[in-house]
């Protein structure tokens, strides 16, 4: 029983140590060279084409959703012109409740 | 190329502050729209754009620090102060919910039967899953400290193992808590007990998810050789946040789960 357990331990250790390991290369030096290049490109675009694509997509989407949500909020307010523009010319007076 | 004669970081213009503000506005107004009209489009778009802007903003900070060398000791000191102030603000956020809980539980009204837990509420047994969750988070506090010490000693593999274990424990907590939510006999609509329970534990759960995400980012950066033995503030900030989340749970467990049952 003990011999079986010891054999199992040896096999599992060999399996872990002997298995091909995915090595991640240290690319920090390359990245430092890329991002320290004196080319007047801002840091949010300095990574390459993917940066530019993602930036443009983000700007477009953010502006679009912001305008949509602003319209949504504006529509729910009492200032939204439904059929007339009377609220533009009629002076607003503060109504104070009389007890 | 000009050289600066001071150790501070003069940040260059960036589109992310204004864009993330627009995204946050969309997210919250989408949240309101969801409450009023059951449509989730605006909120989902707001969440997506918030994630996009956050990712790119933090990506740029990593570039400025790790690749461009802007994070000098002076800059790091500022970042430390910033993180401490942020965590303090989160503490005050939870303080409000604890105040609510203690006010309601120390002054139970006739509506709820002048008792706590209120009449009709069957609270969760604190010594089942909640106690297990406590052990899980305490263990994760230990593993994140182990990861930090391994990082400071230059032991790359041990750092990765310990950090992975922390993340697994954090994800385990979230899963267990989700199961508890499903099994609970009461909901958020069940009076003040339900409201305080789910608001406090719900926000805590959200913070656990945020902390787990932060740790996952640290794991990715550790794998990519971003951290050195003496310069790894991103990791320290994540560890501080994780310990804060752990402490909030200890307070939640002892007050809401244990004393409150």
Q: Is the pLDDT of residue A13 over 70?
A: no
Residue A17: per-residue pLDDT: 47
Residue A83: per-residue pLDDT: 41
Please list every residue in chain A whose beta carbon sits closer than 8 Å to the beta carbon of residue B56.
Answer: 44, 54-55, 58
Pair B86, B21 in one domain: no
Q: Is the pLDDT of residue B243 over 90?
A: yes
Pair B51, B94 in one domain: no
Domain boundary among B70, B91, B123: B70
Pair B63, B149 in one domain: no
Tell me the nearest-neighbour CA distance from A3 into chain B, angstroms: 30
CA distance B227 to A41: 26
Inter-chain contacts counted by CB atoms under 8 A, chains A and B: 93
> How many other C-beta atoms can be found within 10 angstroms of the C-beta atom of residue B26?
30
Question: Could B56 and A55 be called an inter-chain contact, meaning their C-beta atoms sit closer than 8 Å?
Answer: yes
Whether residue A74 lies within 8 A of chain B, CB to CB, comes out as no
Residue A69: per-residue pLDDT: 92
Residue B133: per-residue pLDDT: 97
Q: Is the pLDDT of residue B31 over 50?
A: yes
CA distance B210 to B217: 11
Closest-CA residue of B relative to A23 is: B223
Residue A85: per-residue pLDDT: 47
| Crossing angle for the helix pair B191-223 and B156-183, to the nearest 10 degrees | 160
Question: Could A72 and B223 be called an inter-chain contact, meaning their C-beta atoms sit closer than 8 Å?
Answer: no
Q: Is the pLDDT of residue B1 over 70?
A: no
Domain boundary among B40, B70, B100: B70
Residue B140: per-residue pLDDT: 98
Q: Is the peptide bond before B23 cis (omega within 30 degrees of 0)?
A: no
Of the residues A52, A53, A61, A62, the best mutation for testing chain B's interface (the one with the most B CB atoms within 10 Å of its CB) is A62
Residue A27: per-residue pLDDT: 94
Q: Is the pLDDT of residue A22 over 70?
A: no
Q: What does the angle CA B97 – CA B102 – CA B105 come to, to the nearest 5 degrees?
A: 120
Residue B3: per-residue pLDDT: 78
Tell me the nearest-neighbour CA distance from A98 into chain B, angstroms: 32
Name every residue whose Cβ is closer than 8 Å to that of residue B207 and which is 6 or more positions away in sequence: B90, B245, B248
Pair B147, B200 in one domain: yes
Residue A82: per-residue pLDDT: 55
Domain boundary among B35, B70, B105: B70
Residue A96: per-residue pLDDT: 60
Residue B91: per-residue pLDDT: 97
Mean pLDDT value across residues B1-15: 88
Contact between A66 and B25 (Cβ < 8 Å): yes
Pair B116, B220 in one domain: yes
Name every residue whose Cβ is closer than 8 Å to that of residue B78 and which is 6 or more positions away in sequence: none
CA distance A84 to A53: 43
Question: Could A72 and B33 be called an inter-chain contact, meaning their C-beta atoms sit closer than 8 Å?
Answer: yes
Pair B199, B213 in one domain: yes
Pair B112, B63 in one domain: no
Closest-CA residue of A relative to B20 is: A62
> pLDDT above 90 covers what percent of chain B?
96
Pair B22, B119 in one domain: no
pLDDT in tens, B47-56: 999 999 999 9
Closest-CA residue of B relative to A37 is: B68
pLDDT in tens, B208-217: 999 999 999 9
Closest-CA residue of A relative to B32 is: A73
Pair B85, B208 in one domain: yes
Pair B113, B48 in one domain: no
Pair B227, B110 in one domain: yes
Instruction: Report CA B60 to chain centroid distance, whole Å.
Output: 21
Which residue range is the domain that position B102 belongs to? 72-257
Pair B37, B80 in one domain: no
Question: Could A69 and B46 be called an inter-chain contact, meaning their C-beta atoms sit closer than 8 Å?
Answer: yes
Q: Is the pLDDT of residue A84 over 70?
A: no
| pLDDT averaged over every residue in chain B | 96
Burial B167-184, CB ≥16 within 10 A → b, else e: bebbbbbbeebeebbeeb
pLDDT in tens, B61-91: 999 999 999 999 999 999 999 999 999 999 9
Q: Evaluate the CA torsion angle B12, B13, B14, B19 in order and state its sign.
A: positive
Tell me the pLDDT band of A93, cut-offs 50, 70 and 90.
Answer: low
Tell me the nearest-neighbour CA distance from B227 into chain A, angstroms: 10
Tally of domains in chain B: 2
Q: Is the pLDDT of residue A91 over 90?
A: no
Residue B116: per-residue pLDDT: 92
Q: Write the CATH number for B6.
A: 1.10.287.70
Name every residue whose Cβ is closer than 8 Å to that of residue A60 and which is 6 or more positions away in sequence: none
Of the residues B17, B59, B67, the best mutation for testing chain A's interface (the one with the most A CB atoms within 10 Å of its CB) is B67
């Amino acid at each position: 029983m003990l011999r079986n357990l010891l054999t199992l331990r040896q096999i599992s250790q060999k399996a872990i140590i002997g298995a091909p390991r995915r090595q991640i290369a240290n690319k920090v030096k390359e990245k430092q060279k890329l991002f320290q290049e004196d080319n007047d490109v801002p840091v949010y675009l300095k990574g390459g084409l993917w940066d530019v694509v993602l930036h443009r997509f983000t700007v477009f989407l953010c502006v679009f959703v912001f305008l949509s949500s602003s319209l949504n909020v504006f529509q729910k307010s009492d200032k939204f012109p439904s059929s007339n523009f009377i609220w533009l010319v009629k002076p607003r007076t503060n109504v104070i409740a009389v007890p | 190329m000009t050289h600066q004669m001071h150790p501070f970081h003069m940040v260059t213009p960036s589109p992310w502050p204004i864009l993330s503000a627009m995204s946050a506005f969309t997210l919250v107004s989408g949240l309101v729209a969801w409450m009023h009209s059951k449509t989730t489009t605006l909120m989902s778009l707001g969440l997506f754009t918030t994630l996009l802007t956050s990712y790119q903003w933090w990506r740029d900070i990593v570039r400025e620090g790790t690749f461009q060398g802007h994070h000098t000791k002076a800059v790091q000191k500022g970042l430390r102060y910033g993180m401490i102030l942020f965590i303090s603000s989160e503490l005050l956020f939870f303080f409000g919910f604890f105040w609510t809980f203690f006010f309601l539980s120390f002054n139970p009204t006739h509506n709820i039967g002048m008792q706590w837990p209120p009449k009709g509420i069957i609270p969760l047994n604190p010594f089942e899953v909640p106690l297990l969750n406590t052990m899980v988070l305490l263990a994760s506090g230990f593993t994140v400290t182990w990861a930090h010490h391994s990082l400071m000693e230059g032991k790359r593999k041990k750092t990765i193992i310990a950090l992975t274990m922390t993340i697994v424990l954090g994800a385990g907590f979230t899963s267990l808590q989700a199961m508890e939510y499903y099994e609970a006999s009461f909901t958020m609509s069940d009076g003040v007990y339900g409201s305080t329970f789910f608001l406090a534990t719900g926000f805590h759960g959200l913070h656990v998810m945020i902390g787990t995400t932060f740790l996952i980012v640290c794991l990715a950066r550790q794998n990519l050789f971003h951290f050195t033995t003496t310069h790894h503030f991103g990791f320290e900030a994540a560890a501080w946040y994780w310990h804060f989340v752990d402490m909030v749970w200890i307070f939640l467990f002892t007050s809401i789960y244990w004393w409150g049952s």
